A and B are shown apart, each in its own frame.
Chain A
Amino acid sequence: MPLTGPRYSHARRLAQRKIAGEIFVVDPANKCLHQPQGVAESIWEWLAKGATEGELVQAVLREYDVDPGTAGRDVRRFVRELVRKRLVEEVPLAHE
């Protein structure tokens, strides 16, 4: 998977906090609580600084014992879910 492409980061409106080692994410718009766990929690943490799908797949392959095909599919599916729920937003490209 190419490392270029849209760069995603946490939606700015979200409130979040780590409580007893677990991430609590609240969307104030609908008051829904989200708690990414396992690999999803790692991906969520990587998204804090912004990342492309390709960079997330690379990170998953570094940290977890999984084949590239599965990692790519799972990351894509998870990022799409985050986009659909408006929990992440595209980071605008910096103009030089």
Chain B
Amino acid sequence: MLYCPKMSDPREPLSLRIASVGVRIETPRLASYSRELRAMFGAFVKKPQASDWKIRLRPLRRLGNAKTPSVVQAGRKVRLAWSRFEGLLDWQTRSGTVFVHSSAVVGTFLRAFLSHVLSRRGGFLLHGAGVTSRGGAYVFPGVSGAGKSTFSRQWPAEQILSDEIVAVVKRGGRWTAYGTPFDGDVRGGRNESGPLKGILFLEKARRWAKKPVDRRDAARKLLRCVLSFEAKTDVFDRLLGLVDDVTAAAPAHALSFSRTSRDAARSELLCR
């Protein structure tokens, strides 16, 4: 259920819930940001909870030098940096301040932030599309050019979790795939989730077809698509453990798909 307490009041903090991680974003000196962020993340606005992270946005006056976003944790402090944002968060108080160059940068910041938080909560962000079908969720890992958006356009909009980035998290012993607001060419990720029923690696072809992928290949391909902005051994130890676990839990296949042939039975192809 979409929660919109005071959509017209730009001073009201924005409470988001993405892949079950709550974030309350305050924009005290950036009223226009609040409106823009609501437009970007509207589907993920939720009722605030006490456990939410509290992040205060401030304007970044000077661009930094970092070419790619990075996250560095030292004790309870986490530094997130890129040329267009810089922030310091505290795990103990679950709060911090982030200096951003523009509202458009907040999405990139949230990706870095969520990849950090999820990896410590038994999950990860995956560069991949995701859909729900028949009570289950299916993810389609792939780097740029793999066909995620082309594939997603073939799918009913109400079933797309995202055409660009999905979250995959283990909760209560079961893997769940979540939609995210981080979309590619197909507008709008959905704030939905479903039990993970399959991992499918896309291959452009003339006909729709599905064939099993060896677990080692699946782990290798999946690992390439896991988003991580950190460079620490313990983070990758955890991610390797999660990839091991998820490839053991969910069947992996190569899915050949055609962008011209609209196979009415594609849902059955996923679930078979």
Contact = CB atoms under 8 A, between A and B. Distances in A.
Contact of B240 (A12, A13, A16, A20): A16
Interface string A10-54: 001111110111101010110101010000000000000000000
A15 B228 CA distance: 14
Contact of A20 (B219, B233, B234, B241): B219
B216 A26 contact: no
Contact of A35 (B220, B228, B239, B247): B220
Nearest to A16: B240
A65 B243 CA distance: 35
Contacts of A26: 223, 236, 239-240
Contact of A19 (B219, B224, B228, B232): B219
A28 B230 contact: yes
A26 B239 CA distance: 10
A4 to B, nearest CB: 30
Most buried by B among A13, A28, A29: A28
A19 B236 contact: no
Interface residues of B, number: 22
Contacts of A21: 216
Contacts of A31: 228, 231
A15 B219 contact: no
Contact of B247 (A12, A14, A20, A33): A20
Contacts of A20: 214-216, 219, 247
| Interface majority SS (helix, strand, loop, mixed), chain B | helix
A69 to B, nearest CB: 33
Contacts, number: 52
A94 B221 CA distance: 41
A28 B216 contact: no
B237 interface: yes
B111 to A, nearest CB: 16
B231 A19 contact: no
Given A15-B237, A16-B240, A17-B237, A24 B223 contact: yes
5 contacts: A15-B240, A24-B220, A31-B228, A31-B231, A33-B220
Interface of B: 214-216, 219-220, 223-224, 228, 230-237, 239-241, 243-244, 247
Given A28-B230, A33-B223, 18 more contacts: A15-B233, A15-B234, A15-B237, A19-B216, A19-B247, A20-B215, A20-B219, A21-B216, A22-B216, A22-B219, A24-B220, A26-B236, A26-B239, A28-B231, A28-B232, A29-B231, A31-B228, A33-B220
